[in-house]
Chains A and B, each alone.
Chain A
Amino acid sequence: MRVQDEFSLIDIEIMWSRMISIADEMWSTLFKTAVSTVIGAAQDFGCEILDTSGGSLAHSNRSMPVFNVVMPTVVRAVLNRFPVADMQPGDVYVTNDPWLCAGHLDDIAIVTPVFYRGSIVAFTMSVAHASSIGGSLTSRTVRDIYEEGLRIPLVKLYDAGELNETAFAFIGENVRTPDMVLTDVEAQLTANGVGARRIEAFLEEYRLSNLDTLAETVQRRSEGAMRRAIETVPDGVYRHEVWADGIDDPVRLRCRVTVDGDHINVDYSGSDPQQIRGGINCTMTYTRGHTVYPLKCLLSPTIPANEGTYRPITAHAPKGTVLNCVPPASVGSRTHIGWHVHELLFGALEPVLPRRVQAGNGFLHYVYVYGEQEDKTFYNSHFFVAGGRGAGKGRDGIGRNGFPSSARNVPVEVFELRTPVLVRRRALQPNSGGAGRWRGACGQLLEFGVLPGYPRPVSLYFDPDRLRTPAPGFAGGEDGLLFQIAIDGRVLSFEEIASGQFTLSSPADLIQVQVPGGGGYGPKEQRDPELIAEDERWVAPPPNER
């Protein structure tokens, strides 16, 4: 019999790893049972186990990083709304409220209380990007959240095991792909259920009655690691400013990072007001996610994250700004601001952490392809493709990933199986990363059109970033190449892309997309000649094109 409040170091390590692996199993369950491309292929979702007060206990290693940080807010809202005393086994809660959860309506949160011997011992939770949430098909033109689709208030999806038909009906009637969305919701329920069963088995095996001591122990350890890491950063106030594309005018972001002993406060005062058009506003929950995540990467990258990790960090943004928007602001494309917070914070801390920060990233981009088949059914698929990452001091940018998203790309073959599109090229684009002593990773070229012989027009939606603000180089390194769309060889202007909406009606139409490269680090004149020779070999065309 193990005494509950006296875990040995071996106990803690094993039990902690076990919690993470349960979250990982939830993750792979959701991944394997979902049917949309955005979840089943691109993996735009996250899974977490939370303690009885809504604190994060463990998240899947493969979760979308920002989802990990926002999940506690949702569970705390559940606890506020639905007192623990009234909860019953078989209850499940749902919401997609951007102010509570992941910052836009597309991400649906499902929360399942876990009961053991009659008491609640934890919550299992998943947040996943729905393949459709209704609303406008051109999120770049919307003016408020009502145009962005279905808003699901925090409600019970199941009541003591009884399905809430009204909620399901509301969701089904308001999205474009009801079967796909509801099957993915089913996948989330399945994942939460697997997590719950594993937690029950865990408690049984270790003869514990609850997870409280374990949660408190691991949270304390992660918090301690973060505080010790912050202490190594010189105290001071670090300021920085960056610009993001915006929809009408470019948007300015400002930060003031105060490092004080073992605590960091980030104040975004001075950032631009919330924007009317285009859904680029961040809710405070989302902003906080993109504040603590990059700081964790810089300061404590190897310690498993939970509630404790983020306690030593506070974030503030004045209400009504683009980083703390208020309803009815549109928020659909909030990554266009949120992802820029990384280069904002990295830029601020570059003077004191030059070896850890990273120049600007090319980001993850997508094309959304949709339309009606001849039998009137709706098809759709997201096609994810990543830009290059920024360089660091001593290191070229790492190609091949979509930071700060943990999604994977969609295989061309899968994309073609799901949509009547033919991809003609998907290639790395030489010299698209920012030059520097260490260069940014290169971006990509993508070319596609309608599948020849397909009788109907195909609709495309782009929501690009870095159309006019490239991934910034650091310390004298150059910026990466911008995002570009060309149709049949003609490059479109910023205004022409404004709506993001295109229709391909002729098989001859060819869309070419240039996905941005990452920023360089240090002056390019200082690049090692051997590395330059290597760069040149890499760029050389194959023999049949020479």
Chain B
Amino acid sequence: MPATAPQSDLATAGRYVMSIDVGGTFTDFVLFDTASGEVVGFHKLLTDPQQPARPVITGWRDLLTRAEASVPRTVYDAVHSTTLITNAIVERRGAKTVLLTTGGFRDVLEIGTEQMYDIFDLFAPYPPPLIPRSLRWEVNERVTRDGVVLEELDEHEVRALLPHMAAEGVESVAVSLLHAYRNPDHEHEVEEIIASAFPGMAVSLSSRAAPLVGEYERTSTVAADAYVKPLVRRYVSSLVEELRDLGFDRPLSMVLSSGGITTAQAAMEYPIRLLESGPAAGAFAAGFYGRLTGHDDVLSLDMGGTTAKACLVEGGTPAVTHMLEVDRVHRFKPGSGLPIMVPTIDLIEIGAGGGSIAHINPLGLVNVGPQSAGADPGPACYARGGEQPTVTDANLLLGYLDPAYFLGGRMSLDPELAERAIKERIARPLGISATEAAWGIYAIVNENMAQAARTHIIERNRDPRDLVLVAFGGAGPAHALPVAQILGISTVVVPLGAGVASATGALTAPISLPFARSYMTLLDGCDWSAVDRLFEEMGREALAALHGSDDSPSDVQFRKAVDLRFAGQYHELRIDISPDIRAASAAGQIESDFRERYAEVYGRVPSGLRVEALNWHLVAELPRRTLTLLSRSVQSVDHRTALKGKREVYFAEPEPGRRPGTLRVSVYDRYRLQPGMAFDGPCIVEEREATVVVPPGSRVSIDEYCNVVLEVGN
């Protein structure tokens, strides 16, 4: 796709691309003008958890009006990312779902791996399964390890369950039968029986959602897929319909957890692949702004209303992993969540957002999050009935937020409600002042984010001190500096439009559809014509799925890969295969590439072992849209022209050696800051969707793209 559509196409194809990111608390918008190559508008509205499509429509209209692009057809493409799916799982707001398993295995979902994830915590908890035991039912059938049917599916038994589904009001069914990754026939039969009785019922099969060996992980994935499918279907189809009413009749694109983009239609088939859609878009944003400011290796910190996401982005592109955990219930520890086997941007999520609730734990210590007040009722200061003190309430009390300029003044915050919540729930029980309590909340949430980010970085063999922090999300810029200080990071970049940066990131994500097939074989006994057939089959599916998008299939690029291991091992390395040559002729190359990669990863290669292939992968890609931002010349301009006022703001060390307290500091209008301006903290920089808090000792400069670049003081 060209960065700039040819002029002649504009009349028919339109010139704008809309990006929408629906988070747990806010719905963000970015409108990109392909003619000028410029972002022409940002917008932010509260998410409506009950009807998430509603603010999308309102915001879409607002933004087009503001951009004076009211002719609806001028938007020719729309990209959508979201955290609705994660939130539905964490808050257990999914559909009433039945799990059907092979007889004798209904508890697989609850038994899990039986592994201690914290060897020193005697009571480390596990998340409750998404599907309770009363809705986990069994059907008699059995397939062996070779895919041979030992016992036919008892169809009568499946049919006998149908009235119970109706009676229970079941909306979705997950099917996970033993060895279905090898032979999915029985799962297909179950699907047909259910579909013929209940055409509207959502059905998810383990052999499609995660065709991998290992019944727990496969079942966990398909259970989650089924659990969110009705919700995603309802939301996406109503959104598509309402957008059509607005005059947008082009296919809606969605960002996958892997960072690729697919059609809304394809996304609804496997909604679990959208799990980390929003955070993936955010990671792309960090990579984009990192490259823009000359930094290839950055730490992305995306702090929204519900959670914060940290992601190490190396070489401008976030890494992809093949498994993630959702709903980590124990301090976000690995192993304390539900495993989901889908390709995902490798990031870490922390229960730390503007809406995170502060409370006093049984030991008398203040804890912040991971529970969140979300958008409804939201923080106490939203005056929507929330009584729990949140991070946003603390920020308001500390002077970091202007009660009259939240979302650019479209929403006002009530400092008295914030103070009351903090006083009653935290300050009074601890015998401290409300300001001290607010400071504690702020410091603790920063420490939580820094710790989680540090672990994420160190596990990937990097030193945080070598990275630049790119901070965004509605709350990110207010917390970025202390987090950078804890991590020893010396430079922070806060992009223009930081509050909606994830939506910008989605504009830079490639169109990319991953496909996989299982074919387990020793490499030296492989039937290569079967492999060729698998790739052809996946290729056809890919073209069909991409057909909906406007781009001509001739642009499609295929990447092929295979998971290989030494026979007997339980883990594989993914090895790329040349897409141009047919697999049979590549056999020798594949094996030597595997050995080379093995030596690189592990240092030594065992001798005398045969190589085994498992899963064959095809990724269909269309080139990334080139997003350019206008750069402006750097001039020496007096920064005081951007001054919009002064206010009292609380800092840990207002002056060197001084105890915590308030200072009266300058507040700058982000939109009046010009490239080349530079000034020292303490100060506040406000834009509509986010506020940058700059403590004493740090220095602000504005680069040619109007990004705020901060030098972190000690």
Contact = CB atoms under 8 A, between A and B. Distances in A.
Interface of A: 10, 13-14, 17-18, 21, 24-25, 29, 31-35, 40-41, 43, 61-63, 65, 179-180, 183, 186, 189-190, 193-194, 197-198, 205, 296-298, 300-302, 305, 356, 358, 364, 384-386, 392, 395, 398-403, 406-409, 411-414, 416-417, 422-428, 444, 447, 451-452, 537-538, 540, 542-544
B66 interface: no
Contacts of A400: 110-114, 126
Contacts of B137: 542-544
Nearest to B123: A395
B113 A408 contact: yes
23 contacts: A18-B458, A21-B458, A32-B602, A35-B566, A35-B570, A179-B608, A183-B609, A186-B604, A194-B603, A297-B120, A358-B122, A392-B122, A398-B123, A411-B214, A414-B213, A416-B145, A424-B103, A424-B104, A428-B110, A444-B111, A543-B137, A543-B164, A544-B138
Interface stretch (B413-421, B459-467, B653-661): B459-467
B8 interface: no
Contacts of A194: 602-603
Given A10-B488, A180-B568, A411-B215, A193 B603 contact: yes
Nearest to B571: A32
Contacts of B178: 412-413
B114 to A, nearest CB: 4
Contact of B568 (A35, A297, A392): A35
B179 interface: yes
B296 interface: no
Contacts of B108: 426
B160 interface: yes
B454 A14 contact: yes
B121 A408 contact: no
Contacts of B121: 297, 301
Interface string B158-197: 0011001000000000000011000000000000000000
B46 to A, nearest CB: 35
A427 B107 contact: yes
B150 interface: yes
Nearest to A452: B150
Interface of B: 103-108, 110-116, 118-126, 132-134, 136-138, 142, 144-145, 150, 157, 160-161, 164, 178-179, 213-216, 454-455, 458-459, 461, 463-465, 486, 488, 566, 568-571, 602-604, 606, 608-609
Given A21-B458, A33-B602, A40-B569, 8 more contacts: A14-B454, A32-B569, A40-B571, A190-B604, A198-B461, A400-B114, A409-B113, A412-B105
A447 B104 contact: yes
Given A35-B566, A413-B145, A427-B107, A398 B124 contact: yes
Contacts of B569: 32-35, 40
Given A193-B603, A356-B122, A426-B104, A416 B111 contact: no
Contacts of B107: 426-428, 444
A180 B570 CA distance: 13
Contact of B120 (A31, A40, A183, A301): A301
Contacts of B160: 544
Contacts of B123: 358, 392, 395, 398
A435 B552 CA distance: 66
Contacts of A63: 119
A297 B609 CA distance: 41
Per DSSP, chain B at the interface is loop
Nearest to A444: B111
A84 to B, nearest CB: 24
Contacts of A25: 461
Contacts of A403: 116, 122
Contacts of A183: 566, 568, 606, 609
Q: Which of B106, B160, B568, B571 counts the most chain A CB atoms within 10 A?
A: B568
B108 to A, nearest CB: 7
A21 B455 CA distance: 8
Nearest to A22: B461
B702 to A, nearest CB: 29
B105 A426 contact: yes
Q: Which of B105, B122, B138, B214 counts the most chain A CB atoms within 10 A?
A: B122
Given A194-B603, A537-B134, A427 B106 contact: yes
A297 B122 contact: yes
Contacts of B142: 422
Given A406-B115, A422-B142, A544-B161, A14 B463 contact: yes
Contacts of A300: 120
B464 A385 contact: no
Contacts of A21: 455, 458-459, 461
Given A427-B104, A427-B107, A386 B114 contact: yes
A101 to B, nearest CB: 19
Nearest to B460: A21
Nearest to A28: B571
A10 B464 CA distance: 11
Contacts of A179: 608
Nearest to A60: B119
Nearest to A390: B122
A24 B112 CA distance: 22
Contact of A385 (B114, B213, B568): B114
